[in-house]
Structure 1
């Protein structure tokens, strides 16, 4: 058995899957590429006989699949989350090719630092709130005249790119550097930082009466592109805490923000 696969650290997440057969086909697709970790977010019909039938031998992947109620729960401990989408202007995410997306995921994965590749519903994909939880998007450049990919086919394409990238990296010579890397911040740690950032902007009256959503979306994208590690998030949160403390002191001294 090939040992280049990083265990369960690469997580395939299916959100709101409507047809149970697609769950089984996706399990088969990832097992053929050496992946093993499947997470189901609020599937419409599961467990189901069709899922077991379409798994065609990947019953162990189905048996070990986690079922959770929300995408936020599925990726809370992940260092990187990439959503598979059609091209969209709804949410401005960095857009990656399948090959670049696979490389980005493998750059981020590590012991105790899982990564997630997220697929949406068959008919409607990921909604805006779910896309906001992704750090980047990956788009499969299908035939523009007939670009509708079955969910399991999309999973197979991206699982293949991950497999190829893993095999190529396994063939590279090792050495150079001590291999130490500060762990990337988890999804939950980043969301905590963004919540504090939003509160701080309110505390210092940054928005001046304007709707805060646009500025917060842009700031999220800036910080997500940086690939912040845990130490950097702690530093940034310390800066925000000081800014909040100064804002409280200014208010207590009778100063009014204008």
Structure 2
């Protein structure tokens, strides 16, 4: 559980951050990262933490989601509603089954969006999976701390001695930063070789991101892929020079 990070994006109310800290401490979570909070460490924040002040004091504040998850090998975004963007979706129990084995290998993140609007489509593209908490379709709104409590409870209940496959000691797990580096390099390479149509670039890149997230390349495989991209770019430049 020490490798599970809770990330809150642009939280509006300090009291919600305090309530999240309390929910985290209930379930043995301690790594809290805040992305551009509107309020933090207000009187209400401390009061609603109800003794989880240590989590508040040790919380990191970041300027971007990329910074918050750069060292995480798995990133799961929480959403109060199902999105039109096609992305792999899981329920809370399935989410825990994904997160717990990966947390044995390295840092993972559960990302929660703004109280009113949630995560943007661009932020969802930083996530390998989207987790949706089923609820009453006529009243589906969950408080931020409630959502954190539901997901962290499922993590707590996941059998730590389960039979989930362990990563090979020969492989190096990738982080979100490694994946974003690959995506940026891939987009640039596709532009350089004339493959990318500017009118369809967003849709194409979204599909390619989904492909690589499903494949879950390790660090050595990412280096190989980026080497191939660099070689393709070099040959294109050579043809231009000649």
The TM-score normalised by the length of structure 1 is 0.88
Matched, 1:42 2:36: yes
Query: CA 1:47/1:215 → structure 2, altered by over 3 Å: closer, same or farther?
Result: same
User: 1:256 maps to which residue?
Assistant: none
Deviation at 1:209, TM superposition (A): 5.8
**1:90-239 correspondence runs (5 A):** 90-110=84-104, 113-165=106-158, 168-170=159-161, 172=162, 180=169, 182-208=171-197, 210-239=199-228
Deviation at 1:178, TM superposition (A): 9.5
Q: How many residues were matched structurally?
A: 242
Deviation at 1:169, TM superposition (A): 2.0
Query: CA 1:39/1:208 → structure 2, altered by over 3 Å: closer, same or farther?
Result: closer
Which of 63, 82, 88 aligns to 2:82? It is: 88
* Separation of aligned partners in 1, 2:191 and 2:140: 43
Secondary structure at the counterpart of residue 137 of structure 1: strand
* Separation of aligned partners in 1, 2:139 and 2:179: 37
What CA RMSD, in Å, does the superposition of the two structures yield over aligned residues? Answer: 2.0
**Preserved contact between residue 101 and residue 166 of structure 2 (Cα < 8 Å):** no
**Preserved contact between residue 77 and residue 187 of structure 1 (Cα < 8 Å):** yes
Secondary structure at the counterpart of residue 160 of structure 2: helix
Secondary structure at the counterpart of residue 169 of structure 1: coil
The structure number with the bigger radius of gyration is 1
Deviation at 1:211, TM superposition (A): 3.2
* Separation of aligned partners in 2, 1:157 and 1:208: 42
User: 1:27 maps to which residue?
Assistant: 21
**Preserved contact between residue 20 and residue 144 of structure 2 (Cα < 8 Å):** yes
User: 1:53 maps to which residue?
Assistant: 47
Query: CA 1:27/1:208 → structure 2, altered by over 3 Å: closer, same or farther?
Result: closer
* Separation of aligned partners in 2, 1:123 and 1:178: 38
User: 2:4 maps to which residue?
Assistant: 10
* Separation of aligned partners in 2, 1:86 and 1:24: 20
4+ residue runs over 3 A deviation: 87-90, 176-179, 208-211
1:127-178 per-position Cα deviation (integer Å, ceiling 9, x unaligned): 122112111100001111211101100000000011111xx123x589x989
**Preserved contact between residue 82 and residue 132 of structure 2 (Cα < 8 Å):** no
Deviation at 1:63, TM superposition (A): 1.1
Which of 222, 232, 235 aligns to 1:243? It is: 232
* Separation of aligned partners in 2, 1:226 and 1:36: 30
* Separation of aligned partners in 2, 1:252 and 1:81: 42
Gaps of 5+ in 1: 254-258
**Preserved contact between residue 20 and residue 46 of structure 1 (Cα < 8 Å):** yes
